[in-house]
Amino acid sequence: MFLGFLTPVNRDLLAAIRDRKPRSIAELAEMTGLGEPALAETLAKLEAVGFVRMEMAAGRKLPVVAVTSIRVEIDPFSLNDRVEMV
């Protein structure tokens, strides 16, 4: 399930994107101390589950947080669980 992507490291990464608004993956790597290849791979995974989106700006990929909250409703009696990302 996508909630497994909300590790402490990824939450710090999402907060850095939201709060510090890096202008490139390279700048985000510098801010967080993460290596660019691993960071690019993590961003791709976070984009695949809808947590971030990559925008182009000045010929560079720019990470942007795509969700501000996640609501999970679990129905213990059926498989009618709901996930809402806002």
**Sequential pLDDT tens for the chain (86 residues):** 677 899 999 999 999 999 999 999 999 999 999 999 999 999 999 999 999 999 998 899 999 999 999 999 999 999 999 989 99
Q: What is the 3-state secondary structure (H, E, C) of 15-78?
A: HHHHHHCCCCHHHHHHHHCCCHHHHHHHHHHHHHCCCEEEEEECCEEEEEECCCCEEEECCCCC
49/53 Cα distance (integer angstroms): 10
Look at the chain and report how many structural domains it folds into: 1
Give the pLDDT of residue 3.
79
What pTM value is reported for the model?
A: 0.88
What does DSSP say about strands 52-57 and 82-85: parallel, antiparallel, or unpaired?
unpaired
Where residue 61 sits, what CATH number does that domain have? 1.10.10.10
| Domain ranges, residue 73 | 2-85
